[in-house]
């Protein structure tokens, strides 16, 4: 089982034992008024984040390489934990599931807002 979390560095530190991937270098949807209230679960936000394809692909490729080396815990970080880290975590989880891995995915900041 591979565990993936997304989180915001302004809310918490990375969970212990997780390989952390910095998503702050990706374009920030928070700066776009019509995307601000949405999350990385929304297609418009994912498309905007993934629009920075080279950096996005680098982050995902690094995460997949870490899994292949036997590290089963991945954490994706951005400032608020609502847009970029969520979008990248979702895409990475999707790639891993497609390749036959069992994945547990949790968005720490989104879950705290929902609960």
C-alpha span between 27 and 70 (Å, rounded):
30
Q: What are the residue ranges spanned by the domains of the chain? A: 2-114
Token pair listed for 77: 């970080």
pTM: 0.90
Q: What is the pLDDT of residues 10-69, one digit of tens each?
A: 999 999 999 999 999 898 999 999 999 999 999 999 999 988 667 788 888 899 899 989
What are the residues whose beta carbons fall under 8 Å from the beta carbon of 81, sequence distance 6 or more?
6, 7, 8, 9, 10, 11, 107, 108, 109, 110
User: What pLDDT, in 10s, does the model give residues 66-83?
Assistant: 998 998 999 999 999 999
Q: pLDDT at position 114, please?
A: 42
* Residue-wise pLDDT tens digits, 74-113: 999 999 999 999 999 999 999 999 999 999 999 999 975 5
């Amino acid at each position: 089982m591979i565990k993936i979390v997304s989180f915001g560095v302004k809310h918490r530190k990375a969970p212990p034992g997780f390989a952390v991937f910095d998503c702050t270098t990706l374009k920030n949807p928070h700066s776009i008024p019509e995307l601000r209230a949405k999350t990385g679960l929304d297609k418009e936000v994912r498309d905007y984040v993934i629009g920075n394809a080279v950096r996005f692909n680098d982050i995902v490729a690094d995460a997949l390489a870490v899994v292949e080396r036997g590290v089963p815990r991945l954490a994706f970080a951005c400032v608020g934990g609502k847009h970029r880290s969520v979008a990248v975590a979702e895409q990475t989880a999707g790639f891993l599931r497609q390749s036959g891995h069992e994945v547990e995915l949790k968005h720490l900041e989104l879950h705290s807002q929902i609960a």
